[in-house]
Chain A
Amino acid sequence: MTATRRQPGASRSLTGLAAALLPEEREAPEDPAARQADGSWHARVPARLESVVASMPLPARIGIRAAAAALDGYAVVRTGRRLAALPAPERESVLGSLGARPALLPLLDVVKVPVLLAAGTERMVQQGLPAPALLRQDPPLDCTPSDEWPACSTADAVVIGSGAGGATAARTLARAGLRVVVLEEGRHHSTASFGRRAPLDRFAELYRDGGATVALGNPPLLLPTGRAVGGTTVVNSGTCYRTPDHVLARWAREFGFAPAARLGPYLDDAERTLRVARQPLDVLGSNGRIALAGAERLGWQAAPLRRNAPGCMGSCQCVVGCPTGAKQSVQLSVLPAACAAGARIVTGARVLRILVDPDRPGGARAVGVRVAREGGGTLEILAPLVVVAAGALQTPPLLRRSGLGGHPRLGRNLSVHPATSVAGRFAEPVTAWEGVLQSVGVEELHSQGVLIEATATPPGMGSFVLPGTGRELRTELDDAHSLATLGAMIADLPSGRVLGRDRVLVRYDLARRDADRLVAAVRAMGRLLLAAGAQEVLTGIPRAPRVRTLAELDDVLGRVSARQLHLSAYHPTGTAAAGADPERFPADPAGRLRGVHGVLIADASVLPGCPEVNPQLSIMAAAHAVADLRLGR
């Protein structure tokens, strides 16, 4: 056994970390050239890990490096040598001694995530990327990089953000004859470009902070959001739920959100635009079928999800951009229509601030935006209407740095759909990543605020973290094809807030009720998997990673709280909510920001409460309604 060689481009401590968490199966050849020739995916993990870490935001980067350095330091103290220099058995024992301390297990799980991501990617590359067939050519978009956009220009409306809300608002305004400019911080990625590149390479570009956006709190939540032309719709799972009637009724009755009462036709329009249909069974994949079988055995209500992916080929890459173009993200459906109506998209354009004229007759008025160009420098666009659709996490800081953050409730009222996932091991191969990524919805517990969705990702890319370290983890990774994964998200109380002006800081404290819901969700998912025939259930709980029976699961869940689960969160909403009460809602019932003329909120932040389902349709319908109200319709 020899020490692990450092790969070019990878730091010594990260190399050590990767080697310790995921040891090689057998002794590698001494000669580096031979190692390369060996083609072992494992050898490339440190370099890949380095690039994963490099794409993360500074705090996460520092955290991972510090953790790796601490691990290395521990190894030095214990053995006199750094991890990378240790033979595999000694590394295993170092890690084992750490794993024996329960308090350190969650920390180890955190550093495992990027390592698994890197390993999963390299394994996939090694196995050969399936060449996806392009279903259809992308419809044309009028995109201009910000560096080529003039420094001074004018428009009738500026839309900040090209996600579900921004795209829909842009299309509505452009069709009404307005000269619309859509500003997008990310870049435009064509479907063909998705097919050409490995999933992880897309990951860093398509997600804000390399997907490592974290909501601070106890427990902290991973809160990934997209950043590209099309926003998060490029990287969501394509699941399209209509806003439930009871949610709409609550928005209208309790909050006085004007569009809620007439959202039906807008939801219809959004469904037509996205060609939403129930996912056919042919490409559903084993993961979905297992969920359906389990639900059937339990007599639970479950069905393939309604999705915006006509002709989906089950590439299972929704979360890094559909490589076949089946998923009708807004850059393939809504934005082309907006561009056809004259809207123009500026990419690589981060809005620094909304320009406000404080001395206009009748009060302060937004008159345009100042934008940071990708290549340095700024540009300004003057427009009498500014539509803010930067997403629930970015809209409040943008308003604050524009001097429009005066409302005390701006940034508060954050709902995020906390989610957790559970895997089940089956005797026969599942190969969950062959099929639809999010395939089946189990709505049995939806009335209790729990929505279970069979969600499988390529190994390492999902929110489920395989248990163990060292050889155990390696075995789990090699055995990943026998795992079926379920995810559950819960309808939460608005327990979070978005802080910051220039940098976003998300704070989220899980409410006790929601913690109970999450535990109930884990139990329900375990029950479903066992009913479907799972040999064991991987709970994702570091102290009790595997259970074999429902009784064991109940026993484990009786001893843990939601804080010990692996939590992630999706669908942030409500941070610039619209409603009737001027003291509670930063925006008026028609989505106009209070305290200034000429600012519309048209993204997830305008929703006054948790939509309780995947929110793309709700956001699109709300944005459409808000834009229509502005046009006096």
Chain B
Amino acid sequence: MTAAGRSGRGSTRGTAFRESMLGTVRLDGEDHTRRVRLDLHVTADRVLRPLGTTEAQAQGRVRIAGWANDPGAAGELEISPLARHRIRYRITFTADGRRLALDGWKSVTPRRPLASMTRLPFTLYEDGVRAGEGALRFPLASGLAPFLASFRFPRNEGGPDTFAPPRWSGSPGRTEVWYTTATDPATGTGLWLHHELVAPTDGSAPYAHGWAAVFPTCGPVTHARFGPAAWERPQDGFAAAGVAARPGRLTGSAGDLRWDLAEQPAGAPLFTFPRWSWRRPLLPAAQMLPAARADYSGTVSYGTTTLALDGVPGATARIFGHGNAHRWAWLHADLGDEVLEVVAAVSTRPVLRRLPPLVFLRLRRRDGSTWPRRAERTAVGWAGLGRFRCAIGLPTWTVTGRAGLRRIRVEVTQPADRTLALEYTDPDGARATCRNTERADAQVVLERWWGRWRPERRWTLDGTAHAEVGTR
């Protein structure tokens, strides 16, 4: 996360918890009460402030016996048990086709802390007019343990926009990359847009350059370079030589390649390398995805062909560091409901280059969690034990590893005819060759230990994986 992103929100972590309450309501015009159940998932963009006030959003379900069962209830909470002595709930929901608002608050008093923190009197309104009155109670005996266990303090990643602005602050010997890969499922065509800023080690002026490449199913790989051009220090992303990669929008042309794409991020940021290495650039380089997955719409034309893309899947990644690795392999695999990102690299540093590749493997699961939980786990394991392994090679390279009760095997094949070989230049002038394809094949097998290793998921990607192998 950038400094600007942090200062903009004031809190690097949020709060999430679940709360369920039971009670009764008496609707106006009725002579009996109805049972009510309120299940809420509450999120706040800051850590709860016990002495202050926290505004939070709530989503969940409102059930009123014989009348309402709305899983789409939403609203907000004002959590201020000590400062304002109040925890206020304002939830809107639909009942019997009518839009209703539940407004009530717990009035916290130190004289009766338990009773006042668990009782929520409320009033129902329809169009601002009272429609009923009731009270909910937090069931301490059955509800406290799940309530406490549900507390999470997730990191505030910020939106993908947070990661688009350039990181480079003027030091020599740095390279920074914005790159986007996508696959058009209709034609099977792969797309690669690479935007790079290089600040040479010798202190000469930084320059921006890059290339675009199209990997059609029928026909050869087409690519064209743009730049080098002077770096004008844009504020919000990459912009040089008529090419721009800004939040939500990618435009430019190189040779006879033209593109104008709108980017719609989907999913939270995915840090392939440890999160701290992006915030504090202590590693030779770090890579991350502002959004684990993004959809692209717009046009790409090359030669006489024009592709009209409509929400095709892909991703944009960011790299910031001192240069390219000694050897590396990269995979971005959109597995449908999950996303797999792998970077295996051997550092150029004198001692480190003798080590086997450090593997950073991140599997973003359907529920938003990431496996393995810590990025360091796959790279270094437990002081080297249990680290993930990568056999870098061409046309096939593999990654295997085990973390917890799961193990994974990834086999990537980059057929030569679908692969584009390009030369990279490091800030120090050294050169490396990368072989990249956005039409790679991949086999991913995830297994779970349950007495023995049993297959959990298996994905086969046929020409839709994005992969690269770099060598010197």
Contacts and interface: CB of A to CB of B under 8 A. Distances in A.
Interface of A: 150-154, 355, 357-359, 367, 370, 378, 380, 382
Given A150-B123, A151-B121, A152-B121, A359 B107 contact: no
Greatest chain B CB density within 10 A among A355, A358, A367 is at: A358
Interface of B: 52-53, 80, 83-86, 103-105, 107, 121-123, 130, 133, 135
A373 to B, nearest CB: 12
Given A151-B121, A358-B84, A359-B83, 6 more contacts: A151-B123, A152-B121, A357-B80, A357-B84, A359-B52, A359-B84
Nearest to B120: A152
A627 B105 CA distance: 29
A152 B84 contact: no
Contacts of A370: 107
Contact of B83 (A153, A358, A378): A358
Given A359-B52, A370-B107, A150 B83 contact: no
The 10 closest A-B pairs by CB, nearest first: A151-B121, A152-B104, A150-B123, A359-B83, A150-B133, A357-B84, A152-B121, A152-B123, A359-B53, A153-B123
25 contacts: A150-B123, A150-B133, A151-B121, A151-B122, A151-B123, A151-B133, A151-B135, A152-B104, A152-B105, A152-B122, A153-B123, A154-B103, A355-B85, A355-B86, A357-B53, A357-B80, A357-B83, A357-B84, A359-B52, A359-B80, A359-B84, A367-B84, A370-B107, A378-B107, A380-B107
A342 to B, nearest CB: 12
Contacts of A380: 105, 107
Contacts of A378: 107
Nearest to A377: B121
A350 B104 CA distance: 21
Nearest to A153: B123
A152 B103 contact: yes
A296 B68 CA distance: 79
Contacts of B53: 357, 359
Nearest to B130: A150
Nearest to A358: B83
Contacts of A355: 84-86
Contacts of A357: 53, 80, 83-84
Contacts of A152: 103-105, 121-123
A6 B83 CA distance: 58
Contacts of A150: 121, 123, 130, 133
Nearest to B102: A152
Contacts of B133: 150-151
Nearest to B88: A382
Greatest chain B CB density within 10 A among A359, A370, A380 is at: A359
B68 to A, nearest CB: 19
Q: Is the interface of B mostly helix, strand, loop or mixed?
A: strand
B180 to A, nearest CB: 41
Nearest to B133: A150
Nearest to A365: B84
A577 B104 CA distance: 35
B279 to A, nearest CB: 30
A433 B122 CA distance: 52
A558 B107 CA distance: 62
Contacts of B135: 151
Contacts of B123: 150-153
Contacts of B121: 150-152
Contacts of A367: 84
Nearest to A179: B128
A367 B80 CA distance: 13
Nearest to A379: B121
B430 to A, nearest CB: 55
A365 to B, nearest CB: 10
Greatest chain B CB density within 10 A among A151, A152, A154, A355 is at: A152
A200 to B, nearest CB: 39
B105 to A, nearest CB: 6
A61 B84 CA distance: 39
A345 to B, nearest CB: 16
A358 B85 CA distance: 10
Contacts of B52: 359
Contacts of B80: 357, 359
B292 to A, nearest CB: 36
B334 to A, nearest CB: 45
Nearest to B128: A179
A79 to B, nearest CB: 53
Contacts of A151: 104, 121-123, 133, 135
A150 B53 CA distance: 25
A359 B83 CA distance: 7
Contacts of A153: 123, 130
Contacts of A359: 52-53, 80, 83-84
A369 to B, nearest CB: 12
Contacts of A154: 103
A577 to B, nearest CB: 29
A355 B85 CA distance: 9
A537 B103 CA distance: 66
A357 B122 CA distance: 20
B77 to A, nearest CB: 14
A378 B80 CA distance: 20
Nearest to B105: A152
A165 to B, nearest CB: 28
A370 B106 CA distance: 12
A181 B121 CA distance: 19
Contacts of A382: 105
Contacts of B105: 152, 380, 382
A362 to B, nearest CB: 14
A150 B105 CA distance: 12
A357 B53 CA distance: 10
Nearest to A152: B104
B75 to A, nearest CB: 14
Contacts of B104: 151-152
A152 B80 CA distance: 16
A240 B134 CA distance: 46
B50 to A, nearest CB: 12
A358 B133 CA distance: 29
A371 to B, nearest CB: 11
A357 B107 CA distance: 13
Contacts of B122: 151-152
A150 B125 CA distance: 12
A378 B115 CA distance: 14
Nearest to B83: A359
Contacts of B84: 355, 357-359, 367
A151 B53 CA distance: 22
A380 B86 CA distance: 11
A178 B122 CA distance: 22
A378 B109 CA distance: 12
A346 to B, nearest CB: 13
Greatest chain B CB density within 10 A among A150, A154, A382 is at: A150
A367 B105 CA distance: 13
A95 to B, nearest CB: 50
A337 B88 CA distance: 33
Nearest to A359: B83
Nearest to A378: B107
A370 B80 CA distance: 17
A311 B104 CA distance: 48
Nearest to B52: A359
Contacts of B86: 355
Nearest to B53: A359
B166 to A, nearest CB: 34
B81 to A, nearest CB: 12
A400 to B, nearest CB: 18
A382 B105 CA distance: 10
A357 B135 CA distance: 24
A597 to B, nearest CB: 14
Contacts of B85: 355
A150 B83 CA distance: 24
Nearest to B86: A355
A380 B122 CA distance: 11
